[in-house]
């Protein structure tokens, strides 16, 4: 077998300086039947993570409005020690999370960069959907304060709990509801490189970001000598440039160029300039930041990444940055060790179901069951001749003695 190592670009969208081994076999032999050893594709749920390895999966990379190809902001970080972290839960990302085949119990730590809907629009779905998808632990959420209390994460999530009071009331009497508990950790938005999380050898710090109004941040995760930086939305800022230095993988927003926002999205020129280059970072600004940070690989996201936008975005980034780069798409996967950074796309199983719980469930709390009014009860059609056999079948199969409520 001859092993040839070549440097190639992964796709038109990700321009990388990574080596890929090409295994050249003797084709004169009979047609091989064994599986290929390495397809250069990531299949969620099929690969062990090395004890010193970090895997980062892009689960939302597009602009604020989600579309089939790209959800809004969300990134999953998995560590070789088993820890998993979600950075932002933007609109549309929940189904991408489900595609990872990770039981919900193990996705109970969420870090919010700011309170724009494209960064936490799927939080309620993930929180409450998770309670029937077998998350049996509280959902822990870290997010920044605001300039005043009502602009902070705690206030927003208190209101979210109130907004979903009907939903919460329906679940507690039916399923083990431990996963419905929210544990909110608000930290100062103006903390500079302050530790906001430290457990199990993992340290996460926050740095301020400059975006829209006070109350946006970016995160730095360090573990096992590896450094991961997740930039939420931001105008280029001195904190990112200073504290992201030395990153193995540095994510930073890279918005669409204003010209494309005018031609493809109907923004006026002044709107496009203000949004793309003052509230956000345009490709040239993203590139300049990466040139100052010099990560092992810089990752740009937060633009609609297509055949007709990627070339222009890349050309503009390359005006200011010539280092290792990936322009992210949903389901792009990064395996990071001290020796190597491997970038692939995932193959997603559209038929995937949420993974079953691994912990033992408690019985539902009957006292939490809220009774129907007499009015609603008066409309029920018990159909016992249909329902009783269903109960009998299950009771017989599992040795239970559950009775229908409606009789
Ligand atoms: Zn934003
Ligand atoms: Zn955003």
Q: What is the pLDDT along the chain (407 residues), one digit of tens a residue?
A: 333 333 333 443 444 444 444 555 555 666 777 777 677 899 999 999 999 999 999 999 999 999 999 999 999 999 999 999 999 999 999 999 999 999 998 999 999 999 999 999 999 999 999 988 889 999 999 999 999 999 999 999 999 999 999 999 998 888 889 999 999 999 999 999 999 999 999 999 999 999 999 999 999 999 999 999 999 999 999 999 999 999 999 999 999 999 999 999 999 999 999 999 999 999 999 999 999 999 999 999 999 999 999 999 999 999 999 999 999 999 999 999 999 999 999 999 999 988 777 888 888 888 888 999 999 999 999 999 999 999 999 999 999 999 999 99
Distance 16 CA to ligand 2 centre (A): 25
Distance 359 CA to ligand 1 centre (A): 36
**From its phi and psi, is residue 357 left (phi > 0), alpha (psi between -120 and 50) or beta?**
beta
**From its phi and psi, is residue 157 left (phi > 0), alpha (psi between -120 and 50) or beta?**
alpha
Distance 165 CA to ligand 2 centre (A): 27
User: Tokens standing for 180?
Assistant: 């419905």
Distance 91 CA to ligand 2 centre (A): 10
Give residues with Cβ within 8 angstroms of 79, minimum separation 6: 49, 53, 54, 202, 223, 224
Distance 64 CA to ligand 2 centre (A): 5
Distance 109 CA to ligand 2 centre (A): 20
Cα–Cα distance, 239 to 103 (Å, whole number): 35
What is the reported pTM? Answer: 0.91
Cβ count within 10 A of residue 113: 28
Reported as type and span, the H/E element at residue 42 is strand 41-42
Distance 302 CA to ligand 2 centre (A): 7
The residue whose two tokens read 């092992």 is 296
SS3 172: coil
Cα–Cα distance, 200 to 163 (Å, whole number): 34
Cβ count within 10 A of residue 95: 15
What integer pLDDT is reported at residue 24 of this predicted model?
56
Ligand nearest the Cα of residue 62 is 2
Contact between residue 228 and residue 249 where contact means Cβ atoms under 8 Å apart: yes
Number of H-type helices and E-type strands within the chain: 12, 18
Ligand nearest the Cα of residue 279 is 1
Distance 280 CA to ligand 2 centre (A): 8
- The residues pairing with 186 across neighbouring beta strands, listed in sequence order, are 143
Distance 118 CA to ligand 2 centre (A): 5
């Amino acid at each position: 077998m001859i092993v040839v190592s070549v440097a190639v670009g992964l796709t038109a969208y990700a321009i990388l300086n990574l080596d890929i081994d090409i295994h050249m076999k003797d084709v004169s032999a009979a047609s091989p039947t064994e599986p290929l050893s390495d397809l250069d594709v990531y299949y969620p749920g099929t690969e062990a993570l090395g004890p010193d390895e970090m895997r980062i999966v892009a689960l939302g990379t597009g602009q604020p409005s989600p579309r089939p190809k790209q959800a809004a902001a969300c990134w999953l970080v998995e560590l070789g020690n088993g820890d998993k972290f979600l950075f932002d839960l933007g609109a549309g990302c929940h189904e991408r999370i489900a595609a990872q085949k990770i039981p919900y119990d193990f996705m109970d730590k969420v870090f919010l960069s700011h309170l724009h809907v494209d960064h936490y629009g799927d939080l309620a779905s993930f929180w409450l959907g998770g309670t029937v998808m077998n998350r049996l632990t509280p959902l822990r959420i870290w997010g920044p304060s605001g300039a005043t209390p009502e602009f902070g994460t705690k206030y927003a999530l208190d209101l979210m709990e109130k907004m979903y009071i009907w939903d919460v009331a329906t679940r507690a009497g039916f399923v083990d509801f431990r996963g419905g508990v929210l544990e909110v950790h608000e930290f100062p938005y103006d903390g500079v490189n302050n530790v906001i999380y430290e457990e199990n050898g993992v340290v996460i710090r926050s740095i301020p970001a400059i975006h829209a109004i006070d109350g946006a941040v970016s995160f730095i995760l360090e573990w096992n000598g590896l450094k991961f930086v997740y930039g939420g939305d931001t105008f280029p800022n001195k904190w990112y440039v200073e504290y992201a230095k030395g990153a193995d993988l540095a994510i930073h927003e890279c918005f669409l160029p204003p010209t494309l926002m005018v031609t493809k999205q109907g923004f006026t020129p002044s709107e496009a300039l203000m949004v793309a280059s003052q509230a956000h970072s345009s490709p040239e600004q993203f590139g300049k930041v990466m040139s100052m940070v010099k990560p092992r690989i810089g990752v740009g996201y937060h633009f609609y990444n297509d055949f007709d936008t990627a070339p222009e975005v890349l050309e503009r980034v390359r005006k200011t940055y010539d280092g290792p780069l990936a322009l992210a798409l949903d389901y792009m996967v990064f395996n990071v060790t001290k020796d190597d950074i491997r970038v692939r796309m995932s193959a997603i199983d559209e038929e995937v179901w949420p993974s079953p719980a691994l912990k033992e469930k408690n019985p539902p709390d009957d006292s939490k069951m809220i009774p129907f009014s007499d009015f609603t009860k008066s409309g029920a059609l018990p159909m016992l001749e249909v329902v009783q056999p269903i109960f009998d079948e299950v009771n017989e199969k599992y040795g239970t003695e559950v009775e229908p409520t409606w009789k």
